[in-house]
Chain A
Amino acid sequence: MCACRCGIRVHIRDGEVRYIDGNPDHPLNGGVICAKGSSGIMKQYSPARLTKPLRRKAGAERGAGEFEEIEWEEVFGILSDRLGKIRSTDPKKFALFTGRDQMQALTGLFARQFGTPNYAAHGGFCSVNMAAGMIYTIGGSFWEFGGPDLERSKLFIMIGTAEDHHSNPLKIAISKFKREGGRFISINPVRTGYSAIADEWVPIRPGTDGALFLALIHEIIALGLYDRDFLVRYTNSGQLVNLDDAHDEFGMFVRTEVPQEEGCYDPQNKLWWDRNTNKPVVTHTEGADPYLFGEFALPDGTSVKPAFQLLKERVKDYTPEWASAITGIPAETIKRLAHEMGITARDQKIELPIAWTDSWGKEHDTVVGNPVAFHAMRGLAAHSNGFQTIRAMSILMTILGTIDRPGGFRHKAPFPRPIPPCARTPNSPLAVKPNHPLDGLALGWPADPDDLFVDENGEPVRIDKAFSWEYPLSVHGLMHNVITNAWRGDPYEIDTLLIFMANMSWNSTMNAQEVREMLNDKKENGEYKIPFLVVCDAFHSEMTAFADLILPDTTYLERYDVMSMLDRPISEFDGPVDSVRIPIMPPTGDCKPFQEVLIELGSRLKFPAFVTPEGRRKYRDYPDFIVNFETEPGSGIGFLSGWRGKGGEKFMRGEPNPKQWEMYAQNNCVFHYELPRSYQFMRNWNKGYLDWSQRNRITRYSEPILIHLYSEVLQKFKLAAQGRGITRKPPAHLAKRVESYFDPLPFYYEPLEAQMSDKGKYPLAAVTQRPMAMYHSWDSQNAWLRQIHTYNYLYVNAATAKSSGIADGDWIWVESQWGKVRCMARYSEAVEPGTVWTWNAIGKAAGAWNLTPDANESQQGFLLNHLISEELPENREGARYSNSDPITGQAAWYDVRVRIYKAEAGEEVSSPQFEPMKPYPGMKARPSWIAYFGGKNK
């Protein structure tokens, strides 16, 4: 259902759902279930369900919600005509963007086969900073790719997390951790949810965590609380950096004389300065021990320093006192936190009797762990300084020696991956060719400026400007800028925008009010600026109103789904896990799984992957596709890794197995491969694991994945911006931007919007949090969940509110430099005084989700997104960049600054208000009361 992908059991009585509970045998949730999962019945039978394909009525304005029912055959006719034409002329005029789905492997394949570069999922507006910041540092990340090993940890630091993707597993783990006496510290401007049960709450000002981490690093290095052995062997701390300013290689690691092919991995051709011989040696030379501090001169006179020395210099001025002024956390607390982390890591070491061999052939009798675990999410990610902040956090985790070790951070397959992972986008517009699949992936991991997806003038190829000089490492795209860019025709106009499972006119867009206008805006010739808009949704969302064509999707109880190794599987620390969904109800009305739609379209448009060389349809339907599709003919790699091979005897790789679905069904819908114990830890440098992973084609290379304490990738961009080296160079107007943010070592800067705001006028930071009992915007149609969150308040520290003359429960205006919303205030003592917050996406447009136009969601609820802009204010040159991290393009949701003041008497309804949406044809009438009883006979 939601992104957590828990195992559930659906109990049916007389064809109706009677009960949904957690599957006790499922590795993810072990039988527990959340509030949303338990309310699945009200989702399945919601009157907000779409049941018929709908077309905007001829003559009706977009957004007016006037639709007529059509048949699927007509839908396919319209789409294959239109898309066929685009594909044969200019494929990039078709854009496909998807929200919180779990089928990026298929949607990505479809887009690539279509030939458009304009594809991405929600990552860019979600938490790409987390993915990129950590993957570019340690080769894996939180999110679905790894997490804290609370089973063995002693000290757990949770930063900026309210709920997260892995919510049930996290809850299970935290409570066990607490019961076993672990110490739990939460760093968050707000104390709710998980933070509520923390042993210590450290309130912090939003956007300042980078300063905190740098100060913690400062203190830990100053006291020698870092794990030296770990740093030496498993990170690039000891590697020598060229500091010859005149050199094109300035800031790069010095390479050995021996030239080595540099593929998509870290070749072991760097140098240490050996303390035994007092000479530069190749890293990991037997018997050598590198200096971590100091400055040395190579025989040719080049001045070099170990990376760790540079880190130490970087954090020199980042003292706890300095950070205290920025974060609002007392310096004493910062020091104590550093001591708690350092001492726990040092003195409570775990030693497991597991023998393993490292990449350099050294045998270890034990696996050692330093039991300090971190977890962080969007509180760090959703700021425009998030990438560098998350790098700082990753480095803090690293110097404590906690990466893929017991009690620290643990990877989940298919991670760790090389830094950066090998996937690349094309690097030139030539990759987009009529009637051809895209020559490369739409999303990838640039390793240097030559990997950017730009034309010869350095201008973006993608509609969202991802992988351009504006946001070079935007590895998940910038979905939040698609509508604005397409509307403006910058970098070009598009024809058809297909949105799947994203509410882009409401909560997953910034600046919602104006974006809604853009969706309706017309050119001079009367044509819409975005000519054709197709929305695939299961419910009556705000977005559907703007569609020209609505494709009614099935629910999670009505379709096949896979949580594939090619996407984001549900792997555990101990090995890869993937899973499937098998429908237990027939589709409601004329709903059709989007997967089937894509396969049908792909077949009709004769995409190479979907038809035989003779042009005949290859796959009957989605289940058939899942079983038989291989990444390349005969590769043996498909969407599912379990029960492959003719009889289901193989895993990870193997021929298609016609009985694969049945075998999943017999096994709780889960395939779980438990790695041998010796492969479960230290995987960045675990020879056994890396070979296993290479043999199973999880990775192409089995070279060790050294932690990038110092990031050469970032330095390469900096050098290019300085006009050095042989790579591409940024256009002049972007050189300064790239030079300042691409720093090989983390640094702190104030979030971009704050830098460009009048903080005297807008003194408060405004953020949102996930309510545990609501999934984004889509649960207000749920009769049970909406009783829990019927509308939302703005929570304000009581002292802050009083100083503005605001009483508890007052109607107030919240104003940013971009606009204002009216809502109600609620006092709270559990929020940092400079922060105000609300639950995310509770406010709705009137009439949406088939609620009555007077429903509380629209009359008392409000959406913070109206206050957030998708673009920053104009800079000095008059350019407007996305309101995003300048490195990754991560949407900076939590950077907005606001002020609050009392609303006039009589203003007792939330603002802004929109023309109420009407119900669509095919939707059930909403009852005035329900007394649900699953199954007719009592």
Chain B
Amino acid sequence: MTQLALVIDLNVCVGCHACVTSCKEWNTSGSAGPLVDERPYGADPTGTFFNRVQTFEVGEFPNTETVHFPKSCLHCEDPPCVPVCPTGASYKRKEDGIVLVDYDKCIGCKYCSWACPYGVREIDEKSKVMKKCTLCVDRIYDQSLAEIDRKPSCVKACPTSARLFGDIHDPESNVSIAIRENGGYALMPEWGTHPSNHYLPRRKTNIKIHEDELERADNPLKVDGLLPKPAKSEPSLDDITSW
């Protein structure tokens, strides 16, 4: 069975928010749209977004890590948001594991959002239905798009390619390999939701320098340290005394 998902590589995410606005941009005019913005030019502007990038500081100066942390619906394999929905508007697709909301069925009771531990569902305050990441279902199967464009908008946008997209049930997929080889992990594993989206941790490259590597046989100082010998004709003690 297929389970499509995103894998987000925190090792390279620079927190640029490209995925945030490209998601909004694609989806507001797509099958999941429009996505409202309230007070767009006033105080406390707010709107519906499917994807947010947050920032955390880990540790204390000077040993601080700044972690940029994008988060959208994780398309859980055991999505607690689905069974609680009284109308069946929230559902998980059999064919690819995408968790979706059927806007025509949704009564806007918000119960599913309470049932999601990750805070990724957002009610649209104008259309009054629950919205969330669709994994860009209206892109990834669209045959009218070129092959390379059949990807979620956020994935395409991401300048650091911190966002991978694929089938985590296929062990040979790019995402499965990335998870396997880079220590991919799930968020809040304690709830048994089995999020499909995974995160890759920071990985560090260090250089180990051994003391004896500092100097090498061809050290240029061996050449440059040799300054010219004085000319034999230059004055020396030989000229003044004979002992």
Q: Which residues of A contact B (CB under 8 A)?
A: 13, 18-22, 24, 29, 31-39, 41-42, 47-48, 155, 167-168, 171-172, 174-175, 178-179, 181-184, 191-197, 199-201, 203, 223-226, 228, 273, 275, 278, 291-294, 296, 308, 336, 339-340, 343-344, 346-347, 772-773, 781, 783-788, 790, 797-799, 828-833, 850-852, 854-856, 859, 926-935
Shortest CB-to-CB span from A333 to chain B, Å, is 10
The secondary structure that dominates the B interface is loop
Contact B15 A38, beta carbon cutoff 8 Å: no
How far, in whole Å, are A58 and B61 apart by their CA atoms in the complex?
Answer: 58
Does chain A have a CB within 8 A of B12?
yes
When the two chains form the complex, which single residue of B41, B202, B220 contacts A197, counting CB atoms closer than 8 Å? B202
Shortest CB-to-CB span from A203 to chain B, Å, is 5
When the two chains form the complex, which single residue of B59, B65, B209 contacts A196, counting CB atoms closer than 8 Å? B65
Contact A34 B209, beta carbon cutoff 8 Å: no
Does chain A have a CB within 8 A of B94?
no
Known contacts A32-B18, A203-B61, A275-B228; A175/B12 CB under 8 A: yes
Contact B33 A196, beta carbon cutoff 8 Å: no
How far, in whole Å, are A273 and B226 apart by their CA atoms in the complex?
Answer: 13
Contact B29 A933, beta carbon cutoff 8 Å: yes
Show 25 residue pairs from A and B whose CB-CB distance is below 8 angstroms, ordered by the A residue: A29-B159, A31-B156, A32-B18, A32-B159, A33-B18, A39-B21, A178-B12, A179-B11, A197-B12, A197-B13, A223-B221, A224-B222, A226-B220, A278-B228, A293-B225, A343-B214, A772-B15, A783-B37, A786-B45, A829-B59, A850-B41, A854-B43, A926-B41, A929-B36, A932-B28
Contact A293 B224, beta carbon cutoff 8 Å: yes
Q: Which chain A residue has the least Cβ–Cβ distance from B46? A: A787
Contact A38 B43, beta carbon cutoff 8 Å: no
Contact B220 A38, beta carbon cutoff 8 Å: no
How far, in whole Å, are A790 and B68 apart by their CA atoms in the complex?
Answer: 19
For B43, B159, B214, the residue with the greatest tally of chain A CB atoms inside 10 Å of its CB is: B159
Contact B127 A174, beta carbon cutoff 8 Å: no
**Which B residues from 15 to 55 make CB contacts under 8 A with A?**
15-18, 20-22, 24-26, 28-29, 33-47, 49, 55
Known contacts A33-B157, A343-B214, A929-B38; A856/B16 CB under 8 A: no
- Taking CB atoms, residues of chain B closer than 8 Å to A931 are 28, 33-37, 126-127
How far, in whole Å, are A292 and B223 apart by their CA atoms in the complex?
Answer: 9
**Which B residues from 52 to 81 make CB contacts under 8 A with A?**
55, 57, 59-62, 64-68
Contact B17 A35, beta carbon cutoff 8 Å: yes
Does chain A have a CB within 8 A of B14?
yes
Contact A199 B204, beta carbon cutoff 8 Å: yes
How far, in whole Å, are A366 and B127 apart by their CA atoms in the complex?
Answer: 65
Shortest CB-to-CB span from A919 to chain B, Å, is 10
How far, in whole Å, are A773 and B20 apart by their CA atoms in the complex?
Answer: 10
Q: Which chain A residue has the least Cβ–Cβ distance from B35? A: A931
Contact A856 B43, beta carbon cutoff 8 Å: yes
- Taking CB atoms, residues of chain A closer than 8 Å to B190 are none
- Taking CB atoms, residues of chain B closer than 8 Å to A182 are 205
Does chain A have a CB within 8 A of B148?
yes
Does chain A have a CB within 8 A of B239?
no
Contact B29 A829, beta carbon cutoff 8 Å: no
Contact B15 A790, beta carbon cutoff 8 Å: no
How far, in whole Å, are A193 and B224 apart by their CA atoms in the complex?
Answer: 43
Q: 5 extra interchain contacts, Cβ-Cβ under 8 A, other than A223-B214, A294-B228, A933-B28? A: A294-B227, A343-B214, A787-B49, A929-B36, A934-B28
- Taking CB atoms, residues of chain B closer than 8 Å to A781 are 41
Contact A783 B12, beta carbon cutoff 8 Å: no
Contact B61 A933, beta carbon cutoff 8 Å: no
Contact A19 B61, beta carbon cutoff 8 Å: no
Does chain A have a CB within 8 A of B172?
no
Q: Which chain B residue has the least Cβ–Cβ distance from A16? A: B29
Does chain A have a CB within 8 A of B98?
no
- Taking CB atoms, residues of chain B closer than 8 Å to A798 are 61
Contact B57 A830, beta carbon cutoff 8 Å: yes
Q: Which residues of B contact A (CB under 8 A)?
A: 11-18, 20-22, 24-26, 28-29, 33-47, 49, 55, 57, 59-62, 64-68, 126-127, 148-149, 153, 156-162, 202, 204-207, 209, 213-216, 219-228
- Taking CB atoms, residues of chain B closer than 8 Å to A203 are 61-62
Shortest CB-to-CB span from B58 to chain A, Å, is 8
Contact A929 B126, beta carbon cutoff 8 Å: yes
Shortest CB-to-CB span from B51 to chain A, Å, is 11
Q: Which chain A residue has the least Cβ–Cβ distance from B42? A: A852
Contact A830 B64, beta carbon cutoff 8 Å: yes
Contact B46 A851, beta carbon cutoff 8 Å: no
- Taking CB atoms, residues of chain B closer than 8 Å to A228 are 220, 223-224
- Taking CB atoms, residues of chain B closer than 8 Å to A788 are 17, 20-21
How far, in whole Å, are A859 and B153 apart by their CA atoms in the complex?
Answer: 34
How far, in whole Å, are A47 and B28 apart by their CA atoms in the complex?
Answer: 19
Contact B29 A224, beta carbon cutoff 8 Å: no
Known contacts A175-B12, A197-B12; A35/B21 CB under 8 A: yes
How far, in whole Å, are A851 and B40 apart by their CA atoms in the complex?
Answer: 9
Q: Which chain B residue has the least Cβ–Cβ distance from A169? A: B159
Contact B29 A19, beta carbon cutoff 8 Å: yes
Shortest CB-to-CB span from B241 to chain A, Å, is 26
Q: Which chain A residue has the least Cβ–Cβ distance from B59? A: A829
Contact A34 B18, beta carbon cutoff 8 Å: yes
- Taking CB atoms, residues of chain A closer than 8 Å to B41 are 47-48, 781, 783, 850-852, 855, 926-927
How far, in whole Å, are A30 and B59 apart by their CA atoms in the complex?
Answer: 36
How far, in whole Å, are A933 and B28 apart by their CA atoms in the complex?
Answer: 6
How far, in whole Å, are A859 and B61 apart by their CA atoms in the complex?
Answer: 31
Contact B29 A928, beta carbon cutoff 8 Å: no
Q: Which chain B residue has the least Cβ–Cβ distance from A172? A: B159
Known contacts A199-B204, A773-B21; A291/B157 CB under 8 A: no
How far, in whole Å, are A22 and B209 apart by their CA atoms in the complex?
Answer: 42
Contact B205 A193, beta carbon cutoff 8 Å: no
How far, in whole Å, are A515 and B43 apart by their CA atoms in the complex?
Answer: 28
Contact A935 B42, beta carbon cutoff 8 Å: no
Q: Which chain A residue has the least Cβ–Cβ distance from B211? A: A339
Known contacts A34-B16, A203-B61, A931-B126; A787/B159 CB under 8 A: no
Contact B14 A171, beta carbon cutoff 8 Å: yes
For A32, A33, A197, A786, the residue with the greatest tally of chain B CB atoms inside 10 Å of its CB is: A197
Known contacts A772-B15, A935-B29; A32/B158 CB under 8 A: yes
- Taking CB atoms, residues of chain A closer than 8 Å to B206 are 183, 199-200
Shortest CB-to-CB span from B179 to chain A, Å, is 15
How far, in whole Å, are A191 and B63 apart by their CA atoms in the complex?
Answer: 11
Contact B228 A196, beta carbon cutoff 8 Å: no
Shortest CB-to-CB span from B161 to chain A, Å, is 6
Q: Which chain A residue has the least Cβ–Cβ distance from B202? A: A197
Q: Which chain B residue has the least Cβ–Cβ distance from A312? A: B224
Known contacts A38-B22, A196-B14, A830-B66; A155/B34 CB under 8 A: no
- Taking CB atoms, residues of chain B closer than 8 Å to A930 are 36-37, 40
Q: Which chain B residue has the least Cβ–Cβ distance from A274? A: B228
- Taking CB atoms, residues of chain A closer than 8 Å to B214 are 223, 225, 339, 343
- Taking CB atoms, residues of chain B closer than 8 Å to A38 are 18, 21-22, 24-25, 157
Shortest CB-to-CB span from B77 to chain A, Å, is 27
- Taking CB atoms, residues of chain A closer than 8 Å to B17 are 35, 772-773, 788
How far, in whole Å, are A555 and B158 apart by their CA atoms in the complex?
Answer: 24
Q: Which chain B residue has the least Cβ–Cβ distance from A771? A: B17
Q: Which chain A residue has the least Cβ–Cβ distance from B23? A: A38
- Taking CB atoms, residues of chain B closer than 8 Å to A856 are 43-45
Contact B43 A852, beta carbon cutoff 8 Å: yes
Shortest CB-to-CB span from A19 to chain B, Å, is 6
Q: Which chain A residue has the least Cβ–Cβ distance from B40? A: A783
When the two chains form the complex, which single residue of A48, A194, A933 contacts B34, counting CB atoms closer than 8 Å? A933
- Taking CB atoms, residues of chain B closer than 8 Å to A19 are 25-26, 29, 153
How far, in whole Å, are A21 and B21 apart by their CA atoms in the complex?
Answer: 11
Q: Which chain B residue has the least Cβ–Cβ distance from A29? A: B159
Contact A340 B207, beta carbon cutoff 8 Å: yes
Contact B40 A929, beta carbon cutoff 8 Å: yes
How far, in whole Å, are A747 and B157 apart by their CA atoms in the complex?
Answer: 43
- Taking CB atoms, residues of chain A closer than 8 Å to B127 are 931
Q: Which chain A residue has the least Cβ–Cβ distance from B154? A: A38
